[in-house]
Structure 1
Amino acid sequence: MPKKEKSARYRGVYRVQGKTGVSYGIDYVHPATGQRIQKIVKTASSESEAFDIRCVELADAKRDAKNLTYGIAAKSKPVLFEDTVDAYLDWAKENKKSWETDFHRSKALKEGFKGKLLSDINPFMCEKYKMARAKAIAKKSVNKELSLARQAIDKAIEWGKYDGTNPFDKVARFKVTKGRKPGSLTPEQVQNIMDEIAHPVKRDMVAFDFYAGWRISEIRNLKWEDVDLEAGAAWIVEPKNGQSVKVELSNAALSIIKKQDRKGPYVFCFKNGMPFKTNLHKTITNAAKRAGVDLPPRKAWHILRRTWASMMLQNGCDVETLRVLGNWKDYSMPMWYADAGSPEHKKRILNRMPELGQESKVMEIEEKRVTV
């Protein structure tokens, strides 16, 4: 049987040397029941962590004992921050497409507030966490972690598991300015990337994205039942913004759909009819590298959506039509995605202005417009 060794520094803490390593336990007498509590704390990786958890449990027990003595009914059961985040993640898994992102962001939050009750967390502690995290990651990422914590506690309040205030509501977010626009590709660069992709369906997906501007997840999930070839349109089902919509497609985009073999319910798929499960990031980055085309970091497929938006504007598309076809909720995103074009294109636009004092040229330009 493993031998217990009392901590020389922390009261009520002991360590046990087992086959898989060292474990840490706590020992105290419950103030309400008088029962002696001895148990291994699985989440503790040191004596100090075990001591912190012992203090929290003992404080909770004393609070309950005091309420029992004076007949005070507790407003709500004490809730650990980690349990609150875990409950939120369980909900997010069923209700949010970005739940995996929330899961990764939650790791640092749970570590930063480990063993803390919601009632013990105050805005100052949240501010300390914010400043500490800003030294390790980008401020934009810190803001997203703070938002996740706020949302988790808001849900706990909504579900009746906590009746206090949300300390993260009083923590100001970092002011983050948008960086330089990532730009777009030229049609020649897109063609060069396609020439380096051997898989015919993946190559067609790149071409479809260039002509339609869809998100890669929308292309992967496009089904034959969502395509209306007679109307020249297709349904984007369950897109990123949550609004399923029917959008028109160009003749070039429709021709790409028509050339696909019907191997299953999905338009773009493997030979066995199964859809592509990933966003094919490596397909684009590797092809672009071989073609000598520089891509922005991270979401390589999005450069095709930016290119589509830029080409649409440069060829006379109005902003409202661009927003509808790109399935954006407002105008901010298409304007951020779109690139105004090359310096030569800007020069051509600028030089379309009539010259002052040249009435005949003005009239000539107006006549051409009417003719067109």
Structure 2
Amino acid sequence: MALWKRANTYYVDITAPDGSRIKHTTGTADREKAKEYHDKLKAQLWDLARLKQKPKRSWDEAALRWLKEKAHKKSYRDDVQRIRWFTGHLRGKTLDQIDRSLVDGLVTRHIHGTDRTKDLYVALIRAIFRRAMREWEWIDAVPAFKTYSVGGKVRVRWITEEQAETLLKELPAHQREVVVFALATGLRQGNVLDLTWDRVNLARRIATIEHGDTKNGEALGVPLNDLAAAVLMRQQGKHESHVFTFRGRPLRSANTRAWRKALRRAAITNFRWHDLRHTWASWLRQNDVPTWVLQELGGWKSESMVRRYAHLSVKHLQPYADQLTFGSRTGLAGEAQKTAEVHVPKSPPGTAQTGLRLVTRDGVTV
């Protein structure tokens, strides 16, 4: 207790719960009354601190509230998957117990994907904490969670047609159809699994994705090539509303244990379900589909998103590269000219390419 007397009056010196220091007069020269004032003031400060103190909220509460409020998100399935993963490690912990060090340790030890994949997990927990602070007023600050990728470059991972053929052989039948359709259309997982028959017109060879279901917020018309149409024809009659089902029920996820096991058996590494979309776009660019056409087919709002595939096709640049005539005049380019005249590109062994049709080694089209 800090009491001192000056000019015949007692003063108090108290450190409040928030760390601030309070010094002022008690207004009395009586030590007992000054002591009583000191104790009463200290009790009032602690009561005030308790009133201001937010009740501790758990990760489980935050996760449930987030999912309830974000049920409309286009990436809701991804949120569910990542929250389920985090909950396996954070169940029972209060938000004030979750910090940068804890999350970094979990992500580093248990997520073996790319830095971009790690960032997607951390981005979700960061968003939940920001909402808990700004809107729910559960916490006063958001931890400075770590960012793993450098430079902000978008990862592009794709597989060859031969690799795709191998992967399809390893998948169970119901998932094989989903993957073939994704490779044929370039649609995102959510758009494939949510596809309903009222959005399909086989006669006109078109599927429609409504504006509320696309990433850019605009409706997308998807032209159905032979491969995509064949998949849809095989699904007819299996369900009254949804196209892709398993045991009579709509498929809810394609990124399953069976998918991951099939990847391992096919010896395909560092490959996510979304990379099927990158594969589709890469195949089209390798077949010299113009960037603007690819942008419209894939529903990308910005051309910059499509230019990540530009390096896969340089045929349109060849005439400009050929403007360099030094080798022709000197004879140094003679052998290369002969090679260029007789060279015929070949498809990977065991595959035949017609658009996006995949033909297996035994001649069966999938």
Above 0.5 in TM-score? yes
Which of residues 147, 159, 165 in structure 2 aligns to 1:185? 159
Whole-angstrom distance in 2 between the partners of 1:195 and 1:91: 41
Structure-2-length-normalised TM-score: 0.56
Name the aligned partner's letter for residue 252 of structure 2.
K
Whole-angstrom distance in 2 between the partners of 1:188 and 1:215: 22
Aligned CA distance change for structure 1 residues 331 and 295 (closer, same or farther; 3 Å): farther
Q: Secondary structure at the match of 2:235?
A: coil
Name the aligned partner's letter for residue 206 of structure 2.
A
Contact preservation (8 Å) 1:248, 1:325: yes
Aligned CA distance change for structure 1 residues 302 and 294 (closer, same or farther; 3 Å): farther
Aligned CA distance change for structure 1 residues 190 and 355 (closer, same or farther; 3 Å): same
Q: Does 1:207 align with 2:180?
A: yes
Q: Does 1:257 align with 2:229?
A: no
Whole-angstrom distance in 2 between the partners of 1:116 and 1:296: 35
Aligned CA distance change for structure 1 residues 209 and 356 (closer, same or farther; 3 Å): same
What runs of 5+ residues in structure 1 fail to find an aligned partner? 1-61, 359-372
Whole-angstrom distance in 2 between the partners of 1:242 and 1:289: 33
Q: Does 1:66 align with 2:34?
A: no
1:243-282 alignment, distance < 5 Å: 243=217, 245-252=219-226, 253-263=228-238, 264-270=240-246, 273-279=248-254, 281=256
Query: Partner of 1:90 in structure 2?
Result: 64
Query: Whose RCO is larger (CA < 8 A, sep 6+)?
Result: 2
Contact preservation (8 Å) 1:265, 1:273: no
Q: Does 1:166 align with 2:166?
A: no
* Structure 1 residue 323, shift from structure 2 partner: 3.4
Q: Deviations along 1:262-285, whole A, 9 cap, x unmatched?
A: 222122324x64223331645555
* Structure 1 residue 295, shift from structure 2 partner: 1.6
Q: Does 1:313 align with 2:285?
A: yes
Query: Partner of 1:58 in structure 2?
Result: none
Contact preservation (8 Å) 2:103, 2:145: no
* Structure 1 residue 248, shift from structure 2 partner: 2.3
Which of residues 193, 213, 237 in structure 2 aligns to 1:220? 193
Larger Rg: 2
* Structure 1 residue 227, shift from structure 2 partner: 1.0
Query: Partner of 1:235 in structure 2?
Result: 208
Whole-angstrom distance in 2 between the partners of 1:107 and 1:64: 43
Compute the RMSD of aligned alpha carbons: 4.4
Q: Deviations along 1:85-106, whole A, 9 cap, x unmatched?
A: 3332122222151134134335
Whole-angstrom distance in 2 between the partners of 1:131 and 1:284: 27
Structure-1-length-normalised TM-score: 0.55
Query: Partner of 1:47 in structure 2?
Result: none
* Structure 1 residue 311, shift from structure 2 partner: 1.5
Whole-angstrom distance in 2 between the partners of 1:356 and 1:269: 57
Q: Secondary structure at the match of 1:104?
A: helix
Query: Partner of 2:268 in structure 1?
Result: 295
Whole-angstrom distance in 1 between the partners of 2:156 and 2:270: 9
Contact preservation (8 Å) 2:122, 2:145: no
Q: Secondary structure at the match of 1:312?
A: helix
Contact preservation (8 Å) 1:150, 1:166: no
Whole-angstrom distance in 1 between the partners of 2:222 and 2:108: 47
Whole-angstrom distance in 1 between the partners of 2:283 and 2:41: 66
Residue-pair matches, total: 272
Name the aligned partner's letter for residue 63 of structure 2.
L
Whole-angstrom distance in 2 between the partners of 1:220 and 1:326: 17
Query: Partner of 2:55 in structure 1?
Result: 79
Query: Partner of 1:326 in structure 2?
Result: 298
Query: Partner of 1:51 in structure 2?
Result: none
